A and B are shown apart, each in its own frame.
Chain A
Amino acid sequence: MTDTRTSAVSVSGLTVGVGAHGPTLVDDLSFEIAAGTVMGIVGESGSGKSVTSLAIAGLLPPSLSVRAGEVRVDGRVTASAGRRRRRGNDRVDIGVIFQDPRAALNPLMPIGAQLRRSLRAAGMNRARAESRSLELLEDVGIADPVRVGQSYPHEISGGMCQRVVIAMVVGAEPSLIIADEPTTGLDLTIQAQILALLHETVTRLGCAVLLITHDLAVAATMCDTMLVLYGGVPVEVGTSAKILTAAEHPYTIRLVAAVNGEVSRGALAIDDGGDLR
């Protein structure tokens, strides 16, 4: 851990809403992620976690728009107010790992072909992409990359699919990896493996990671810093240690307590949130 880190990602005043006048989904969100660190966004369903990640990747559906603020990845603006959507060819260094690994792979194309295509898109020639794709599959712990490379997504397990997705993202060598609930659809042992793989990958690549999760335990093991979203509003930002041990905001305190089993689950849900804001 050095002091010479640069901010790979900076989000300032990001506000996302439905259309121009509809409800606001994410309100005035600002944070920075240093290269080589993991930032977690924690919050319950509907708190704006996924919308935030889509906005940063420039993938908001047409009905949603960035109303204010901007996102910079490596100094380049990837999302800002007034920009409808990204054009296909202005490549930004972002890789996305989705919640459902099967949906993240084209069901009609063998895995190896998809991996090679993504490498070719990153500018590799055919032969290089071929050999690199096998390397990448090995790197993510797939023992027989040739056979898996010839398989279709439905022929391998969800955990394997997620490994392939990670291999794809790693192959593109992005500055930022957005992992949106990357382990939610997987069972517990696989979850631990995938998280370990993700952690190892980050260390090796030295990229910034934005980990979206509703699972405070996952966030606690993975993240250097954390941001707690509640109803689209950032209620707490800080290092993981600080949030887990010395949270200041009442929502965070209850969230941590709930995970530790000190409060019944009901206590979180009963509040309508009015006093928490």
Chain B
Amino acid sequence: MTAPLVHPTPPKPKSPRRARSSRLNPLVIGGVALLVGMLAVGFIAPHFLPDPLATAAADASQPPSAEHWFGTDRYGRDVLARTIDAIQLDLTLALACAIAAFTVGTVLGTLAGFMGGVVDEIIMRFIDILAAFPAFVLAILVAFALGDGVVFAVAGVALAAVPEFVRLTRARALSIRRQDFVLASRVLGVRALVIAWTHVAPNSTGPAIVQAAFVGGSAILYLAGLAFLGVGVHPPQAEWGVMISEGSAEIVRGIWWSSLFPGLFILLAAVGFHLISDGMARGQHD
């Protein structure tokens, strides 16, 4: 029955496909370009701009002009300098939120989905409690409870984002745990935590990576919101939320520029993160 079939000319072996990296979604490229561009401006431009903290009473609340492109705030500080100066801080904080939430969420989600049983119950009930609070309220609660400070504001925003990561990862882990390569490792006697780390986690984090980019965008909004309410970053530090908060009192007097421009930058950064997230989500459906 095993008579060999002979090809007249044996077909050449296919060269391994390495097309993965060349198929980066244009949305992802656009989002990354936007964020990297912002960061570059944030690093370089401050050298050519006035001190973001320097006040000048005589120059207070000037509308945009050739000298002050974005105008000045009520202390006479240059809004352009402050907006640009805040790029590094805001993007770093947003990234920190996304990374923290991703790490905690995927670890818990992998454990819950892979271990099942009591572990799953405990983790998911805890997540249910977290998810019961509106995200912004939870972030405020945590930031207030832990203490006032940038780190705690980041922790609050990250924690509020954790439930979604856990659910996404757990759902994937539930199906990965029944895959043959996981079963094969179990038969070999590989320890459960090792299997979870080497086989289940890497294969379960796809949706969570998309979510991380999304959270990066939302985190900027949340952090700005918290700063607006006086939690986290404080004046006179240049931060978009702080700037909007400071400018808000002046808007009724027609001084729109000290709030509008930081708001636009929040929008830009959020769009950058969301483009990456959206692009990756589309890539995963291919």
The answer to whether A and B assemble together is: yes
Decide: A121 and B185 in contact? CB cutoff 8 A: yes
Decide: B203 and A98 in contact? CB cutoff 8 A: no
Give the chain A neighbours of B16 by CB distance below 8 A. 151, 155-156
Identity of the chain A residue whose Cβ is nearest the Cβ of B192 in the assembled complex? A88
A131 in contact (CB, < 8 A)? no
Q: From known contacts A100-B180, A103-B181, A104-B181, infer whether A117 and B203 are also in contact, taking CB-CB under 8 Å.
A: no
B8 in contact (CB, < 8 A)? no
| Complex CA distance for A202 and B278, rounded to whole angstroms | 51
Binds A, one of B134-142, B194-202, B207-215: B194-202
For the complex formed, measure the closest distance between the CB of B90 and the CB atoms of chain A, giving whole angstroms.
Answer: 33
B132 in contact (CB, < 8 A)? no
The digit string for B156-199, where 1 denotes a CB below 8 A from any CB of A, is 00000000000000000000001111011111111110110011
| Complex CA distance for A62 and B115, rounded to whole angstroms | 12
| Complex CA distance for A92 and B188, rounded to whole angstroms | 7
Give the chain A neighbours of B181 by CB distance below 8 A. 103-106, 114
B2 in contact (CB, < 8 A)? yes
Q: Which of A155, A156, A196 contacts B2 (CB 8 A)?
A: A196
| Complex CA distance for A245 and B171, rounded to whole angstroms | 51
Decide: B1 and A192 in contact? CB cutoff 8 A: yes
For the complex formed, measure the closest distance between the CB of B170 and the CB atoms of chain A, giving whole angstroms.
Answer: 16
For the complex formed, measure the closest distance between the CB of B162 and the CB atoms of chain A, giving whole angstroms.
Answer: 24
Decide: B189 and A89 in contact? CB cutoff 8 A: yes
Give the chain A neighbours of B4 by CB distance below 8 A. 189
Give the chain B neighbours of A96 by CB distance below 8 A. 180, 183-184, 187
A46 in contact (CB, < 8 A)? no
Give the chain B neighbours of A90 by CB distance below 8 A. 189
Decide: A61 and B187 in contact? CB cutoff 8 A: no
**Interfacial residues of chain A within 92-110, with CB under 8 A of chain B in the complex:** 92, 94-96, 98, 100, 103-109
The digit string for A77-96, where 1 denotes a CB below 8 A from any CB of B, is 00000000010111110111
Identity of the chain B residue whose Cβ is nearest the Cβ of A89 in the assembled complex? B191
| Complex CA distance for A122 and B186, rounded to whole angstroms | 12
**Interfacial residues of chain A within 177-205, with CB under 8 A of chain B in the complex:** 188-189, 192, 195-196
For the complex formed, measure the closest distance between the CB of A228 and the CB atoms of chain B, giving whole angstroms.
Answer: 21
B5 in contact (CB, < 8 A)? yes
For the complex formed, measure the closest distance between the CB of A18 and the CB atoms of chain B, giving whole angstroms.
Answer: 16
Q: Which 4 A-B pairs have the closest CB atoms?
A: A91-B189, A155-B16, A88-B192, A104-B180
Which residues in A have some Cβ–Cβ distance to B below 8 Å? 57-59, 61-62, 86, 88-92, 94-96, 98, 100, 103-109, 114, 117-118, 121-122, 151, 154-156, 165, 168, 172, 188-189, 192, 195-196, 217, 221
Given contacts A62-B116, A89-B189, A121-B190, could you give 8 more A-B pairs where the C-beta distance is less than 8 Å?
A: A57-B187, A86-B186, A88-B189, A88-B192, A98-B180, A98-B183, A106-B181, A118-B188
Question: What are 16 A-B pairs with beta-carbon distances under 8 A?
Answer: A57-B183, A59-B186, A62-B116, A86-B186, A106-B181, A109-B199, A109-B202, A114-B181, A117-B190, A118-B185, A121-B188, A121-B190, A188-B5, A189-B4, A221-B1, A221-B2
